Amino acid sequence: MKAKASPSGTVAVSSRQRWHNTCVYVRRHWQLYLLFLLPAVALTLIFKYAPMGGVLIAFQNYNPFKGILGSEWVGFDNFVRFMSSPDFQRYLVNTLKLSVYGLLWGFPIPIILAFLLNRIESKKIKQKVQLVLYMPNFISVIVLCGIVRVLLSVTGPVNGLLNTSINFMTLPEAFRPIYIISGIWQGAGWASIMYTASLSNASKDLKEAAMIDGANLLQQIVTVEWPAIKDMVVIQFILQAGNIMSIGFEKAYALQTDLNLSSSEIIATYVYKKGLLDGDYSFSTAVGLFNTVINVILLIAVNKVVAKLNDGKGL
């Protein structure tokens, strides 16, 4: 029982010796594997990896009664069918526009909020402002979309103010502004937390020193505050830009109406309708897989580009 894991790498150990050491380690620390890690591994294998095997049905004409093994293989037919359909381009463009515009408008605002919060001298006021800014984050997607719908309804207050009776929810051109603005309303304050925390942790003394040295506001921001949050900004940008294709189903679906579909139908909602409402399992899986693959490629690409711009530091 005294066997110690040899300090790896110091002396060249034979592979058999290393295997032996591993066995000893595992036997000695079995609790780490069976009690600590097993639940997570089991959940991951069952609920994450088993469905990954299920993507095979994207290459089949899947029949639920025959199962994966019995269904007919059709190669890339489902992908070809999707990409050659006239709707393909529209859904792809809708998805990209919604998330790219959302990123462009939504990304800088939390950073600006954090800079401003950091400049509020009174702690009490700062806390109250934060209390309000974070609050919308705790409203559910359904309630948020409910609020949007009542405020914008034909008899609602927005139409009352404008003295009009426009049904905004049915206008395709209103969908993206509604989606993006309500997203900023709900999420910008919460997203600023990370920046606020790094700003307040990192910069106090430096900022004061800079101020006493006569640095103006812009100089302070450039030399003290920006370096404090730069890494965070880079990480957040990679994550968000890389996830452009995986824009959420929940909110888009809750803001959809039959009449605004020409701009509100995105790949995620299309996958749901095709798959679960129409029962076209294979086709829907193919569309979903297409989306995931693009997303992974994007994430890797964005990470590479940002790493290049940021002296080799990516994710």
Partner 1 sequence: MTVKKKKSKMALYTRQDKAILYFGYFLLALFVIAIIVPVVYIIFASFMDPVTLQNKGITFDFSKWTLTAYERVATDAQIWIGFKNAVVYSILFTIISVAVTMLAAYPMSLPDFKGKKIFNTLFVITMFFGGGLIPTYLLINNLGLLDSMWAVILPGAFSVWNMIIARTYYQGIPHELREAADVDGASEMLYFFKILLPVCMPVVAVLALWQFVAMWNSYFDAMIYLNDTAKQPLQLVLRSILIQSQPESGMIADIQSTAERAQLAELLKYATIIISSLPLIVMYPFFQKYFDSGIMAGSIKG
Question: What residues between 208 and 247 interact with partner 1 by CB under 8 A?
Answer: 208, 211-212, 216-217, 231-232, 235
Binding mask 170-199 for partner 1 (x = CB under 8 A): ---------------x--xx---xxxxxx-
> Contact with partner 1 (CB under 8 A): which of 3, 104, 135, 209?
135
State the minimum distance, in angstroms, from the CB of residue 166 to partner 1: 16
Toward partner 1, which CB reaches closer, 98 or 133?
A: 133
| H/E segment holding residue 172 | helix 172-202
Give the DSSP letter string of 273-312: IIIIIT--HHHHHHHHHHHHHHHHHHHHHHHHHHHHHTTT
Query: Could you tell me which residues are beta bridge partners of residue 72?
Result: 61
Reference 245, options 189, 187, 300, 283; nearest CA is 300
> Contact with partner 1 (CB under 8 A): which of 96, 187, 250, 261?
250
Two structure tokens written together for 140: 């559910």
State the minimum distance, in angstroms, from the CB of residue 308 to partner 1: 20
State the minimum distance, in angstroms, from the CB of residue 61 to partner 1: 14
> Contact with partner 1 (CB under 8 A): which of 3, 104, 222, 276?
276
DSSP state of 141: H
Site for partner 1 in 63-122 (CB under 8 A): 64, 112-113, 115-117, 119-121
> Contact with partner 1 (CB under 8 A): which of 111, 191, 244, 271?
271
Rounded CA separation 308/302 (Å): 10
Rounded CA separation 294/88 (Å): 14
Site for partner 1 in 154-173 (CB under 8 A): 155, 157, 160
Toward partner 1, which CB reaches closer, 102 or 110?
A: 110
Q: Helix %, strand %, coil % for the chain, to 5? A: 75, 0, 20
Q: Does 149 bind partner 1 (CB under 8 A)?
A: yes
Site for partner 1 in 36-65 (CB under 8 A): 36-37, 39-41, 43-44, 46-55, 57, 64
Contacts of 87 (CB under 8 A, 6+ apart): 265, 270
Toward partner 1, which CB reaches closer, 292 or 310?
A: 292
Q: Does 301 bind partner 1 (CB under 8 A)?
A: no
State the minimum distance, in angstroms, from the CB of residue 25 to partner 1: 5
Number of residues that bind partner 1 (CB under 8 A): 98
Reference 117, options 216, 184, 203, 213; nearest CA is 203
